Chain A
């Protein structure tokens, strides 16, 4: 299982764009990159998943360079409710267990 590394914490202000970068140097050919969001005392919530290049949904964008050794989660115009812990995970194409790293604690200030 590929190990991921991401910043422990980040601070931002309302209305700003936030980019959280994750490194996964040992990613395998059939691995997908997945991001989850977790609020205190709640289960993680799926945000976005991608394999290469760029993926966008109504919540976020995910940028993956050609070598796939890193990825960047982009949250446009964050609000106070985006304050949460964000986890970057690498998952095999056929599913399987997720090993959570430390995550990035994002704090959005007014």
Chain B
């Protein structure tokens, strides 16, 4: 149990376009979801915390107008990278907390974004 999926697994887009990444909890309800970004050979960097039905909380230095997060249901959160540029190319990972299993986060498989 406690599976988190992401879609797409990889995406290539042109500079200036927007890309939406979906994060779904498949067999549990996730009141809180998190979005991370990971550059090659680096650790995961937390971008934002997403709570169902409320605005996301962004970490310092993360542009909220560029990285739009929507958590419309207890099983779905989306990250939209607006007007993507090559420097946004990265590995984006989401995670979700199962409210019934406090303290444990379940991670998605990640989405590789390449901006040309």
Contact = CB atoms under 8 A, between A and B. Distances in A.
Given A41-B110, A43-B95, A95 B102 contact: yes
SS class, residues of chain A in contact with chain B:
loop
Given A43-B108, A101-B43, A95 B34 contact: no
13 contacts: A41-B91, A42-B110, A43-B4, A43-B107, A46-B105, A91-B105, A94-B103, A95-B102, A95-B104, A97-B34, A97-B46, A100-B43, A100-B46
Given A42-B109, A43-B108, A97-B49, A32 B103 contact: yes
B91 A95 contact: no
A98 interface: yes
Contact of A46 (B32, B34, B91, B106): B106
A65 B109 CA distance: 33
Interface in A37-74: 41-46, 49
Contacts of B64: none
Contact of A100 (B4, B44, B91, B109): B44
A92 B32 CA distance: 15
SS class, residues of chain B in contact with chain A:
strand
Contacts of B102: 93-95
Contact of A44 (B44, B46, B112): B44
A21 B50 CA distance: 32
Interface residues of A, number: 23
A99 interface: yes
A87 B34 CA distance: 17
A95 B112 contact: no
A81 B85 CA distance: 35
Contacts of A49: 103-104
Interface string A82-95: 00000100011111
A32 B106 CA distance: 16
Contacts of A46: 104-107
